Structure 1
Amino acid sequence: MRERARLVVAALSAALIACLGLALPAGAATLPDPVSCGGCWKPALNTSWQWQLKTVPSAPYLDVAMYDIDGFDATAADVSNLHSTKSGRKVVCYISAGTYENWRPDAGDFPGSVLGSDVDGWAGERWLDVRQYTGKLGTILGKRMDMCKAKGFDAIEFDNVDGYTNDPGFSISATDQLKFNTWLANEAHRRGLSAGLKNDIDQLKTLQPYFDWALNEECWANDECTTAQTGYGYDKYVAAGKAVFNVEYTLSTSQFCTKANAQNFNSMKKDLDLTAYRVPCRGV
């Protein structure tokens, strides 16, 4: 009875939206409501940061407001040290949500049924069948989120959440991807953790209500940063009060920093291995 009532409400809501002349984003009618998280960290639009996954950062730390580091490699003590050495600093837990990595300690937990094609250019990685998030895959990813919370992280960066635009070895649709990505954000919020959207540029509009901030790779190099370029860009996130973090690997800072600063993005140049190297577009 409760499920039937929910469907009736959903239908009425859709009808009301249609009467008002508003358009539903593709797939939105099948998505759950965003889980609110009043206590979750919402980064300021201008937030200095470091993204370092190759190694766990060690003292002396940069004077930045946010560190994004590998959730498995970092210990609770590492997270605590980053918190304690700068007041208000937040630490983000990087995990791959859309790929299997054969070097992770939980690699043996993944059933063969969820393992797809190799990820081009990344040895030891395979795409996951994200349609199976309601089963064993969801349990594994839930444990990863629990790990992030237990170690004291403030937020999660979910990587590889645009497998449907690649060749994952499964027939994953855009709607399948939306369902998975909204599930990730909602599960992070249920744990009191801020959720960051990584890339997935084609679905920025629909996913905006679910995620607290966005992280992008090479949108300036690919002409994908702004609404003028794509139809719905990261400038819309800034307008909604959601911070945008961006890295470029091949462009020189003179080719993107002026534009990035004008859009109020937190942009910097990094190397592809995400070592400690960084050249920020802003002062810190």
Structure 2
Amino acid sequence: MKPLLAVVLVLVAGCAGPATTPSFPVGAAADYQLGGAYPPPSGVRLVVRDATATPAPGVYNICYVNGFQTQPGERDLWLRERRELILFDANGNPVIDPNWPDELIVDTSTADKRARLAGIVGETVKTCAGKGFNAVEFDNLDSYSRSDGALTAEDNLALATTLAAAAHDAGLLAGQKNSAELGRRGAGEARFDFAVAEECLRFGECAAYAQAYGDQVVDIEYTDDLPGPVDGVCALPDRPKSTTIRDRKLVTPSSPDHFHRHC
């Protein structure tokens, strides 16, 4: 798996529909809670949670949506009811994300398929807005890089443009997730508002996000592959203002493997 904007306004979780979207909280202490929701640590002002979760009260909430691959646990549903929207290889096997074998790569190669995919993902965006999230991040924009040439960056950017527009129509900001290789295209073509980057320090990609989004970037680094000790990572002069270090599996505080540190 593997994409931020000045003053945080309090948004009460569970409100009916999105309120006026607050400005993106540049440099806010963040927590990345995709492995399970829990009360944000003291001082945290920005939380990313899955679309199936409820926003955290009193902070800026970003809704995680898998925009270019299927959700874990939905493999059978897609193969049974949406088979024509899945990418298959030359041997007739569905193409998967090797790092997340439960996730099938969706086929963004035609305008008709992109429109149908946008309709499906758009319903999740509406759910995020209805729950009271402030923004949405669309994961796996880089799925074309795992398609053995069947998909292109242009295909995925075309879908991303529609998804970002759906988020904006729902009153949410739209975030690019990873894909630093796209440069400014995510902001310029798809009209993303911010970026959520995983390990941009580790892979030397932070400058690419900064060129596209300025300080509207949230970076997540992981303890199992840090580019130095925790204090050293936080002291790096080129890190995004909002840099958070988490355990790779993003477990909750009830697990002994849990780790959270905001630089």
TM over 0.5: yes
Distance 1:193 1:110 in 2: 29
Unaligned segments of structure 1, at least 5 residues: 1-38, 227-232
C-alpha RMSD of the superposition: 2.6
2:28 is the counterpart of 1:47: yes
Please tell me the residue identity of whatever aligns with 2:172. Answer: L
TM-score, normalised via structure 1 length: 0.70
1:161 alignment counterpart: 141
In terms of fraction of residues, the more helix-rich structure is: 1
Deviations 1:164-212 (A, max 9, x none): 122x366211211221222221111011111111001111311224122
- Out of 166, 169, 183, the position equivalent to 1:187 is 166
Secondary structure of the structure 1 residue equivalent to 2:176 = strand
1:202 alignment counterpart: 181
Residues 114/253 of structure 1: CA separation in 2 closer, same or farther (3 Å cut)? same
Please tell me the residue identity of whatever aligns with 1:270. Answer: R
- Out of 65, 69, 83, the position equivalent to 1:112 is 83
Q: Report 1 or 2 for greater relative contact order, CA contacts < 8 Å, sequence distance ≥ 6.
A: 2
2:100 is the counterpart of 1:122: yes
Q: Decide whether the 8 Å contact of 1:157 with 1:197 is kept in 2.
A: yes
Deviations 1:218-254 (A, max 9, x none): 122112222xxxxxx1222453xx4111111211324
Distance 2:148 2:238 in 1: 40
- Percent of aligned pairs sharing the same letter: 25
Q: Decide whether the 8 Å contact of 2:31 with 2:244 is kept in 1.
A: no
1:222 alignment counterpart: 203
Secondary structure of the structure 1 residue equivalent to 2:182 = helix
Q: Decide whether the 8 Å contact of 1:47 with 1:66 is kept in 2.
A: yes
Distance 1:193 1:200 in 2: 21
Q: Decide whether the 8 Å contact of 2:40 with 2:47 is kept in 1.
A: no
Unaligned segments of structure 2, at least 5 residues: 1-19, 88-94, 253-257
Deviations 1:242-278 (A, max 9, x none): 411111121132453222x544431122122122434
User: How many residues are treated as equivalent by the alignment?
Assistant: 224
Please tell me the residue identity of whatever aligns with 1:90. Answer: Y
1:141 alignment counterpart: 121
1:103 alignment counterpart: 73
Residues 238/177 of structure 1: CA separation in 2 closer, same or farther (3 Å cut)? closer
Secondary structure of the structure 2 residue equivalent to 1:186 = helix
Residues 105/149 of structure 1: CA separation in 2 closer, same or farther (3 Å cut)? farther
- Out of 221, 226, 234, the position equivalent to 2:209 is 234
1:269 alignment counterpart: 245
Secondary structure of the structure 2 residue equivalent to 1:99 = coil
Residues 142/238 of structure 1: CA separation in 2 closer, same or farther (3 Å cut)? closer
1:90 alignment counterpart: 60
Highest Rg: 1 or 2? 1
Q: Decide whether the 8 Å contact of 1:110 with 1:137 is kept in 2.
A: no
Distance 2:152 2:168 in 1: 25
Distance 1:254 1:135 in 2: 46
Cα deviation, residue 115, structure 1: 1.6
Distance 1:97 1:135 in 2: 13
Residues 42/212 of structure 1: CA separation in 2 closer, same or farther (3 Å cut)? farther
